[in-house]
Structure 1
């Protein structure tokens, strides 16, 4: 008689049970009361599916061979599995696959008697190995070789076509046709009037030495290429600095003109294109950055009747940080993003286009798959890249064929492309900051700092009113240049362009002409061009001669003629200016509106506070309160060795309570066997269980049916019909009448 799974588990040592729970964490939640509960959970269909998703190509082939050999109904030998797999599968590969199945309690028993859980039938294809069902007729008898020797060429062609798989075909053939003759001899079986099936024994006989076809024993070669660790890190650092500027541009755009939230949620196509143009990237990259910015809570949908995508107050905190800190937030958010930006622009199952930030791009398992791709890159030496993303996709597919679904290979390409945009990946190799992101989150900032070139404290001023920064600037110089110039192009070297508007912006912020001249002279490695000196002096000469304050607002100037000029200007009527002194005029308009109107009229006023100090009234853009949600998807922590040891000890104690001793069976069988016996014999059982909230309970039931992971029965106390999931049962006992 075959050994039940529960009895096999009881004979295993504590380390084996601890490893089982580590490989299948769902078996330990809630902690099983004894090994009977553990065995019951290990056979549940959903749990078996989940753990088989982690198996590689060879292990799945072995599992399929076990299904072909009907190991779920009676134990089979290792020799039979080896015969089905063929001579090309080495013994050590078979041993490794069987060990992996036993470690997960999907298979159990010694090599002479290997069994598998019944749920394996739901994991393997409908026709395992491309073979049909067994036949009890002539095809399953010793006469099969003689029957096959007697088929003609047409009949053999039909048999070989079905033997290659799938084993079923549509045919109404009868009488003297090839199909009819094969049906008459029992080499084909009629399923229905239009469908025939090739018996398993015939398929195995026709396939010869490779009953289950060719098994890819060795992982595919990814043809690694050495890109150079320093080159990869330098390229990644440049991408990281570039993405920071792109995000800053996006937040500035949304601060000025927040785009509306679509009625169906998400961001409109036109607004995505506008964001792409502002950031100077393609739409796919814009979709990625938009998704990351919102997930990082740097922007959110505002409240109100017409919500808009608006930067949050967290934006100002983020902008104040150093490049390493700002980049780490974007990178960590992307890694944990439960969405696939690569889906933006495609159509969903209903044929509707998927917009950025819409529910159509949501994929809860995206962080797991993203980590899996980066982990594959991390296995290569620093600076080494796979031959192509497709080669990496082939390797990951071999390692876990069941994972990823229909988008599996595309997710690999998207991850590499998105990682390249962010600087996590460069030249298809994982960068130093990328490795820290994956394995050492606390060291991300230090890793990027090490990859970035040393900040420079100077620029190269040129005669065309531009300045070239030959590398990342020290924070103080970067802030001053962002104030008095516009970025014309970014990359390894950043080009800044000085204009009248940018110089006036610096003066509006409180800088004087002397401050600007001193800054340029001190920070330029080349002589200050005369044209730039003239530009600063010319703007400064006209700037600030007119001063505005709040009266709602006022204007003042030491030059009475200038005040008179303003009062005489045609636009002064709209400003509602009233002169209250030779050098002072007041207006009921807000100060910002007054100064904007005067600038439009050709004047260069400056704002001041009550003490006469110049105020910076630059528009920072709109801000809303952050959503205060976590960007990271919370994953239940893996139990540590101490927790696993306690869990196993608790199961051993539970076994002792019910009279079970390690290495022996008490004759009660598994929970499933007990329930099925009670249902068949109309017996009553006492169940201890844990509900969905983790609260322990008990119930006395008369089981009516057992299946699908649930026992359904009538409560002896209230007569009601109740359903209890098998994996939540912690203890069971037959009730003596």
Structure 2
């Protein structure tokens, strides 16, 4: 291997970068920017933390992860490796596995992938291009790279995309696990709990091949370390722990996904958003009138679930999830309390619901989109409403990955799942099909994507959502919605067609005296005797209803509608009630006589004062409800005879449900300040360099502990020896040269070549790890 070109330490490499590179690096890895790092040394320590690498790796495509894998397999996590060798290795391994040329990434694509790793500081090194990029046609002779500490260790154990004839595939390992007996399974489970390393006489190559351990070694489920030690392969450990691994051939060539014409995606997205907005509005109004009691565990019981589902349909779980994510729902004691209060908590609208109900459609849409950004509830989960078991922490990132994938395609992607497997393999592999479908359904319901069969396309709403939030987002969404209309079409079958989203005033009026029959961009409302009576009860008059229809209707109003209004109004208001506790009056003495003879009279404590006046011992609202149930609707009036609306005040709880924080994009000002601090810190720092090799002294800084663990993990993969300084149980400081075998669980198991036995070192007792520099030819 050519070692002529060395790569500097990460801190020195970062110190040599220009401001533009550092700003982009911190944009891609924002966790390293807060608080602003004081120097490149501090930034390097943060970037090499395994937790930081775990955040950035899911954003890489399969090509970049394959390049990282090839580099590690060539030892680039231990020492510099020629960049050309890494790229050639990817293509050679794919060719050796029989992958067709059209499925193998080109050198230009591999160089671009290498730049993606370099820009994220996952590999260290400079290419021949401008700013040290590897992309371009210039040769790579003399150009080397090294994998940054923590980069490969942050991937799931056993992760591999490139074919390797010496490594069993996950499919083969899964099949082998299915064939082992109970004794072998218990043996493997014990090794999983013990850290993956075990000692046994059956590890001897001369042992009887019919014994359990030799059979497991032959099946590829165990690895022989020496004549008395076996190790559980990382891929087997992952499968036993239920950690998903790539199976089958993952597409490594970054070709655009197969697409279809997007058609009227924006219009279909807007229609879906209006339907969801209507559903959330209906949910808030329903819960505002009759909050849903929750159980002691904080979930909604089946009886309440059925009540809500009967009114709102099968989309209830998604409506609750979206409304809760937007801060529109809360759990607590509502005000005012329900008439039959049980003393427990209720699911009811939160204070923000009033602003939502009063807002224009675009503002409502923006509120729901902003809420979805951090929403981690899976509406498709078969769990009670509000159950914490319905949460998936990876849902926000999954939705973002899908939406961005579709947005970049600029057309309808025929197979979103297949495209996600290349674009974000770490996300795709750990996402069950049901979770992917739920994420797509969430985006489609909010109008952020439009679906047609398995195909999906991003809409202009997703582009707006990626660029803005709040009021600015609402302003960008407004042009995507159909213009509100104040017109209606009155039809002979007593239905009213609104040919577009109704203006707020028209929508409020229609809600008072009609029932919604169908929804969408256009909506159909039905008039009936009951609905017209409801409108008159709310204070509308027959003349106002006639005037509204005449003013708003396109064309003539059918006579049947006028007859219905007049007929209901003729019988409406004959019976009048007022507080006595309450009273009833009616010009028709026979009507009152019929009421006195009805079963409702006894329960209300009715008594006749005159032929046209009754008084009741029950409150007026209770009297009116009982009479309405008995088929004798009455109208409430005040002392002057004006109609009163006795509808109850909508109920509200004091606080919204807790919401998962939405992922925050990197703030440009924070990044600029961090870059300024880096430049000043590096200018003030004293330049210095250590001796060859790697020595990590342990202290209280988590970064040094992570670096030591990464060094041990690299040594275990490469099979090289290191010197470990540690303190034994008697407090004595000792040093021992060993070959690490397994690292994890707070300890390292290492083989002592001098004694030929495996030793276990607890990480909290390790004081230093030293790896000598390799000889340079």
- Give the TM interval when normalised to the shorter protein: 0.7 to 0.9
CA distance in 1, matches of 2:624, 2:167: 86
Map of 1:191-206 to 2, 5 A cutoff? 191=225
Match of 2:98 in 1: none
Tell me if 1:26 matches 2:34.
no
Match of 2:148 in 1: 117
Match of 1:291 in 2: 321
1:440 pairs with 450, 468, 475, which one? 468
Map of 1:307-706 to 2, 5 A cutoff? 307-342=345-380, 344-345=381-382, 354-381=383-410, 384-387=411-414, 391-403=415-427, 406-407=430-431, 410-427=434-451, 428-441=456-469, 442-559=471-588, 562-563=591-592, 566-567=595-596, 571-580=600-609, 583-619=612-648, 623-628=651-656, 633-640=661-668, 643-660=670-687, 665-667=688-690, 673=695, 675=697
Aligned 8 A contact 1:56 1:400 in 2: yes
Map of 1:214-225 to 2, 5 A cutoff? 216-225=251-260
Tell me if 1:59 matches 2:89.
no
Match of 1:236 in 2: 269
Match of 1:12 in 2: 17
Residue 551 to residue 175, structure 1, CA distance change in 2 (3 Å): closer
Q: List gaps (5 residues or longer) in structure 1.
A: 133-159, 200-212, 346-353, 677-684, 691-701, 712-721, 727-737
CA distance in 1, matches of 2:700, 2:360: 63
Match of 2:195 in 1: none
Q: Secondary structure at the match of 1:32?
A: coil
Range moving further from structure 2, 439-448 or 18-27:
439-448
Q: Secondary structure at the match of 1:341?
A: coil
Deviation at 1:11, TM superposition (A): 3.3
Range moving further from structure 2, 215-224 or 46-55:
215-224
CA distance in 1, matches of 2:591, 2:169: 94
Q: Secondary structure at the match of 1:336?
A: coil
CA distance in 1, matches of 2:41, 2:477: 51
Aligned 8 A contact 1:517 1:533 in 2: yes
Aligned 8 A contact 1:487 1:494 in 2: yes
Aligned 8 A contact 1:72 1:116 in 2: yes
Deviation at 1:592, TM superposition (A): 0.7
Aligned 8 A contact 1:471 1:494 in 2: yes
Match of 2:282 in 1: 249
CA distance in 2, matches of 1:453, 1:626: 35
Match of 2:73 in 1: 68
1:29-86 CA deviation, whole Å, 9 max, x = no partner? Answer: 3333322222233322222333333222222112111211112222222233234223
1:643-676 CA deviation, whole Å, 9 max, x = no partner? Answer: 445434434444455422xxxx344899x84626
1:88-124 CA deviation, whole Å, 9 max, x = no partner? Answer: 5533233323323332332223554422234345246
CA distance in 2, matches of 1:613, 1:373: 58
Q: Secondary structure at the match of 1:544?
A: coil
Deviation at 1:175, TM superposition (A): 10
1:214-260 CA deviation, whole Å, 9 max, x = no partner? Answer: 984422543222233xx333323332332233333333443454433
Match of 1:45 in 2: 50
CA distance in 2, matches of 1:402, 1:564: 77
CA distance in 2, matches of 1:63, 1:485: 64
Map of 1:151-230 to 2, 5 A cutoff? 162=166, 190-191=224-225, 216-228=251-263
CA distance in 1, matches of 2:646, 2:169: 75
Q: Secondary structure at the match of 1:403?
A: helix
Tell me if 1:80 matches 2:85.
yes
Q: List gaps (5 residues or longer) in structure 2.
A: 93-103, 127-141, 181-202, 234-247, 334-341, 705-724, 728-732, 736-742, 748-762, 768-777
Deviation at 1:548, TM superposition (A): 1.2
Aligned 8 A contact 1:313 1:623 in 2: no
CA distance in 1, matches of 2:160, 2:564: 80
Tell me if 1:108 matches 2:124.
yes
Aligned 8 A contact 1:374 1:438 in 2: no
Deviation at 1:358, TM superposition (A): 0.9
Deviation at 1:468, TM superposition (A): 2.6
Match of 1:302 in 2: 332
Match of 1:350 in 2: none
Deviation at 1:552, TM superposition (A): 1.7
Q: Secondary structure at the match of 1:613?
A: coil
